[in-house]
Structure 1
Amino acid sequence: MSAVFELLCRLSVTLDVDYAPLFCPPNRRAGLDGRPIGENLEEHPRIGVYDRTVVEQFGGLEAMFDAPPWYTATLEGDKIVVVETEQPWDRIDWRPPTDADFLETVTFDDSDERAQQDHGFGDPFAALETGAIGTDLCVPREKIGPEFRNEDLELVHVRVDEERNLRRLDTGAFVRNVVNEDPGDPAAFMMAMLEDVPADAAADELMVSTLLRGVPPAFVRLDDRDDETIVSKVMALDVDVAKVDLLISLGRVAREGGLTEEGLREMDRFLENLEGVEDVEGIEQRIRDRLL
């Protein structure tokens, strides 16, 4: 990865590019359709190089990102390389260089606030009592990755058992452990979900949750097994948008507006209305523009 990073930086300087993206998740629109770049670039890649004039078009780095980028460096020719987050892809132990002949200045944001933003994982089922039921959105452990594809997701109706494990509501089969505290990084969180597997668990049925970043307990809690949750309603949408990202965005909306009963009812109505307009031309792009 360090070699790829160096190649990106050196080519950007040698070719005098205005914009060079690297690591563009499928749900991000980091491609460029025209100029000026500041008016035609919808979203930023996880790692990218920008000419300083392009950064100025956006109003500076502060205006380009929701939070200060994890890593910024200046290159020859007034180029700026930005690594948005400490987890730009599925490896978490890589750090871009701080002392290299192709770098002029380097800035890391290793603050506690940044760490909380990058790693702020939490298990929504940790707030549920023993015996409570809900809907988890899971993938098999071999499908763990930097992005969760809709086709890999499984809606699982679960119960919190006496050992604080999640078991399938219909069969009682073990699904995963409930994680009560953030162990410090995404990889450790994933491992913690399968840290204490009971003897009766089937290896091919072990799963991990995708609902670990900002999804509130109210989105997963069921009062009755025949009810719906915010999670199940999102999964039922027949639209080609990243379902996990949509739930994260709805969680952010809920937190910003205060998670009240009326707010949840409004979100329920919103999702029910979406079910009726799935065939409307351009609806998926509207969802991305407004929520993702």
Structure 2
Amino acid sequence: MTSQHYTATVYEPDPSVDRVEALTAALSSAGFTDVSVEEQPLRGGGTSPEITASHPTTADAVTITPFQRDSASDEDDPLEISAIFHENVRLSSWERDAEYASFLDACVDLVREIAARLDPEYVALFWVEDWERVNPGGSPLADHVTVPPEVGVYSESLRTDLDGLKSLYDSVSVRREETDSDHEIVVRSDGPWSETAWGDVHNWAEPRRADIPLDGVTDLSDPLGSLEPGECGTDVVISRPNGSPTFSNEALTLEWCYRDESDALRRVADDSFVRRVVGDDGPVGELPADADPDDERVSALIQGSIPTAFVRSSGPNDETIVSTVMALDMETSKFDLLVRLAKVARVDNVDDDIVATIAEMVTKLGEMDDQDGIDAYIQRKIL
């Protein structure tokens, strides 16, 4: 098992439910096979059940330990069940290949099935290196759930205690659904989870400009809207979506562009139209005469609250933080990385020093060719 594995931890499950029976059923329902239960010795004496299973197409394994509270446990600690995935569960990499996408579907469905069968207060699927940040580490849970995991499941009572989930989530790409068990499941990824048992895509709630609170930290202005006519910058765009936008690496396109006198953004290479600058009330002005409405692109940077300092270039083809991130050869979501970097920058009011520091970090990422090393560097230096 890699030391950089993922874990799904279940907090405060219903104590009246037979955990082993519920967990084995959850694994089978989620599509895992070869489900088995073995008693494993405990260091203090006695045994505890350990459940193992594998995914049928990838052979990737999952091990679940339904912890039992003993007399030495701190009664203030949440009661936990831990599922260890022996393969990195990089949700942003769902397009890597069909088998990996199937494995990710099963992992996400397993979290959903566990919530339905064990009725927990909270379930978190996260990278084990994030343990100190994501693990609540105490009760009541509402006082300790402060960092959202990649997949989070929240009971109705926990959502009430948290006063909703807006305090946890921002403009990072999110899908969410309320289940029959009155849990809300939130996935911080743009994968096609509608193809699982979760329902059609229109049942997911995508954060939109109007839904994100203007709290002085989130900036929903167009980062290229601050450019003067003739000034150059880099935009990251997607085709205009029919439904909720998708910000996977494959969906994003980097555009080197400049702002013209009519508030249109045009490509540096050939002056062709990209999109209009976006103001508080939407796109500014009319479409240029040479523009086809179907060709106007949507900027991912507005959804990601990316600051102008990340996009402004000193010349037509000079690198920016955005262009450097987009050039990275990595599986990690580049959109999510830009959003996280923007958060870091805003802590220091996006001053020149912090922008220079972020540019150095991104350059360092570009020198790496190992995905696990990239993930570790992002966690250590950026998060």
* CA separation of 1:277 and 1:121: change in aligned 2, threshold 3 A: same
**Aligned residue among 338, 341, 346 for 1:250:** 341
Alignment partner of 1:265 is 2:356: yes
Using the alignment, how far apart are the partners of 2:271 and 2:362 within structure 1? Answer: 30
Using the alignment, how far apart are the partners of 2:379 and 2:322 within structure 1? Answer: 20
* Comparing 126-135 and 51-60, the one that deviates more: 51-60
Using the alignment, how far apart are the partners of 1:146 and 1:62 within structure 2? Answer: 33
TM-superposed deviation, 1:220:
0.3
* Corresponding residue of 1:199: 289
* Corresponding residue of 2:46: none
**Aligned residue among 40, 56, 64 for 2:145:** 64
* Corresponding residue of 2:214: 116
Using the alignment, how far apart are the partners of 2:377 and 2:285 within structure 1? Answer: 37
* Corresponding residue of 2:256: 157
1:75-90, aligned counterparts within 5 Å? 84-85=165-166
Alignment partner of 1:172 is 2:253: no
TM-superposed deviation, 1:248:
0.6
3-state SS of 1:64 partner: coil
Amino acid at match of 1:140: S
* Comparing 172-181 and 119-128, the one that deviates more: 119-128
Q: TM-score if structure 2 supplies the norm length?
A: 0.50
Alignment partner of 1:208 is 2:208: no
* CA separation of 1:120 and 1:32: change in aligned 2, threshold 3 A: farther
Amino acid at match of 1:51: P
**Aligned residue among 133, 147, 165 for 2:232:** 133
Q: Is the 8 A contact 1:177 1:194 kept in 2?
A: yes
TM-superposed deviation, 1:161:
1.3
Cα deviations by residue, 1:116-173 (Å, 9 ceiling, x for unpaired): 3698522111222222110000111137635401011111011111121211112212
* Corresponding residue of 2:45: none
3-state SS of 2:301 partner: coil
**Aligned residue among 70, 73, 87 for 2:156:** 73
Q: Is the 8 A contact 2:64 2:82 kept in 1?
A: no
3-state SS of 1:221 partner: coil
* Corresponding residue of 2:120: 51
Amino acid at match of 1:142: P
Using the alignment, how far apart are the partners of 1:125 and 1:278 within structure 2? Answer: 31
Using the alignment, how far apart are the partners of 1:51 and 1:271 within structure 2? Answer: 39
Using the alignment, how far apart are the partners of 1:226 and 1:113 within structure 2? Answer: 35
Q: Is the 8 A contact 1:167 1:175 kept in 2?
A: yes
Using the alignment, how far apart are the partners of 2:64 and 2:165 within structure 1? Answer: 22
Using the alignment, how far apart are the partners of 2:326 and 2:283 within structure 1? Answer: 22
Q: Is the 8 A contact 2:365 2:374 kept in 1?
A: no
TM-superposed deviation, 1:64:
1.5
3-state SS of 1:172 partner: coil
TM-superposed deviation, 1:259:
2.1
Higher radius of gyration, 1 or 2:
2
Using the alignment, how far apart are the partners of 1:223 and 1:211 within structure 2? Answer: 19
TM-superposed deviation, 1:264:
1.9
Using the alignment, how far apart are the partners of 1:116 and 1:13 within structure 2? Answer: 41
Using the alignment, how far apart are the partners of 1:142 and 1:114 within structure 2? Answer: 19
Amino acid at match of 1:283: G
3-state SS of 1:155 partner: strand
Cα deviations by residue, 1:208-266 (Å, 9 ceiling, x for unpaired): 10001321100000111131000000011101110011001001111113422222222
Q: Is the 8 A contact 1:89 1:146 kept in 2?
A: no
3-state SS of 1:248 partner: helix
Q: Is the 8 A contact 2:324 2:362 kept in 1?
A: yes
Q: Is the 8 A contact 1:73 1:82 kept in 2?
A: no
Q: Is the 8 A contact 1:72 1:81 kept in 2?
A: no
Using the alignment, how far apart are the partners of 1:39 and 1:289 within structure 2? Answer: 22
TM-superposed deviation, 1:80:
9.1
Q: Is the 8 A contact 1:134 1:221 kept in 2?
A: yes
Q: Is the 8 A contact 1:140 1:207 kept in 2?
A: yes
Using the alignment, how far apart are the partners of 1:137 and 1:216 within structure 2? Answer: 13
Using the alignment, how far apart are the partners of 1:136 and 1:63 within structure 2? Answer: 37
Q: Is the 8 A contact 1:38 1:57 kept in 2?
A: no
3-state SS of 1:267 partner: helix
**Which ranges of structure 2 fall in alignment gaps of 5 or more residues?**
1-13, 27-61, 68-79, 91-107, 124-134, 183-209
Cα deviations by residue, 1:162-199 (Å, 9 ceiling, x for unpaired): 12121111221221111122x5xxxxxxxx34983223
Using the alignment, how far apart are the partners of 1:144 and 1:195 within structure 2? Answer: 24
Q: Is the 8 A contact 1:219 1:231 kept in 2?
A: yes
Amino acid at match of 1:132: E
Aligned residues: 240
TM-superposed deviation, 1:66:
4.6
